[in-house]
Copies of this chain bind each other. A is one copy, B any other.
Amino acid sequence: MNKIKTTENIFTHFEKFIKLSENLKLELSKRIKPIVFQKGELVLDANNISKKSYFINKGILRTYFIKDGKEISEFFSGIDEWVNSPKSFMQREKDIYYIDAIEKTEAYFITVNDLVYLFDNFPEMERYARLSMGTIFGHFMERITSIRFTTAKEKYTHFQKTYSNIYHRIPLGMVASYLGITQETLSRIRAVK
């Protein structure tokens, strides 16, 4: 009962974009495996190539990089989202991103090799990837706008909207670096209310 759910969530996610044949479901099931990360655990070290993509069932993962010795959060990922180091994962080369668990996280994963197999044999998987990337695209554009033209206060409000279900579970310092403001400023913003 307290065990990880079946592949139900992940299939539902795919079916937002494509119809899953029984055969594809079977091939997916063979390649998707559960995994659990404890709070604070490192999911990906930037010194390694990202070879797995994680689909979150519960918990929060954070993607970040190091600048001037400080951790800068790039994004946070919650339930029903895929997480990997995008460039590293697709080009099979190192990139700057680390991934860790902000809280205990239950996920599935698929390896890049298995994913490539599915792309090669199921054209609908290519479509899934194209369409799902499209939605992320929109978020990126919105974020760029939000960063460029708003006060620190507005940035924080936008963040709360974007991450409405998880924002209160993310430590202040991480949020500040995500927004590109100092944590002192963020602390003051939150104090005003």
Contact = CB atoms under 8 A, between A and B. Distances in A.
Interface residues of A, number: 27
A90 B134 contact: yes
Contacts of A161: none
A103 B149 CA distance: 27
Contact of A138 (B86, B123, B141, B180): B86
Nearest to A137: B86
Copies in the complex: 2
Given A123-B123, A144-B147, A147-B180, A138 B67 contact: no
Looking at chain A's contact residues, the main secondary structure is helix
A140 B86 CA distance: 12
Contacts of A87: 137-138, 141
Contacts of A145: 72, 74
Nearest to A134: B90
A143 interface: yes
A55 to B, nearest CB: 18
Contacts of A141: 74, 86-87, 140
A45 interface: no
A90 B149 CA distance: 26
Interface in A117-161: 119, 123, 126-127, 129-130, 133-134, 136-138, 140-141, 143-145, 147-149
7 contacts: A72-B145, A74-B145, A119-B127, A126-B126, A126-B127, A133-B137, A140-B144
